[in-house]
Amino acid sequence: MRIYFAGSIRGGRDDWSLYKQIIGLLSNYGEVLTEHIGNSELSITGEDIPDREIYDRDLAWLKSCDCLVAEVTRPSLGVGYEIGKATEWGKQVLCVYRESVTPKLSAMVAGSESVALHSYEDVEELRIFFEATLTRD
C-alpha cells in the first residue's frame, strides 16, 4: 500500500513530532510517500525547492497513492487542497484530528461523505483506528 500522509507545514509546525509518530504507525501498512512531514528540521517555510516542484511532486505522489491520511487538527490550505484532489480522484481518505484542540472542523471536511473522519487524543487510539481501516500489504 502506498500512503500519502498530509499535515501542516506552512500552516504551522507545532505538531511535527506527532506527525512523526503517525508516520511510524502508518509504515506498518505500507510505504509512506511523505515521511519528510515528520522531520524536525522542516520549518514553517517548507522545503528549499521551488513551489512548482513541490506542487508537481506532491500531486504525482498523491495520484499514485492508495490512501491519503491527513492530520487536520491544524488548519492548512495545502492539506485541504490535497483532501479535495484525493476525494475527486476516488482515493481512500482518512482524516484524523484532536477534538480537544480543534473542537469543530471545517464543514468541507467534516461534511464530506468521501472522508472517514476520526477524532483521537493519543497515538494509541490511532493505532486502533488504522488497524480497523487499513489493510496490510
Question: What does the pLDDT look like over 90-118, one tens digit per residue?
Answer: 999 999 999 999 989 999 999 999 999 99
- How do the residues of the chain divide into helix, strand and coil, expressed in percent and rounded to 5? 40, 15, 45
CA distance 74 to 98: 9
| Number of domains the chain is built from | 1
Per-residue confidence band for 135, with pLDDT thresholds at 50, 70 and 90: confident
Question: What does the pLDDT look like over 8-34, one tens digit per residue?
Answer: 987 878 889 899 999 999 999 999 999
pLDDT at 137 over 80: no
Question: Which CATH number covers residue 21?
Answer: 3.40.50.450
Could you tell me the residue range of the domain that residue 103 belongs to?
A: 2-133
For the entire predicted model, the pTM comes to: 0.93
Of 38, 45, 46, 35, the C-alpha closest to 18 is 38
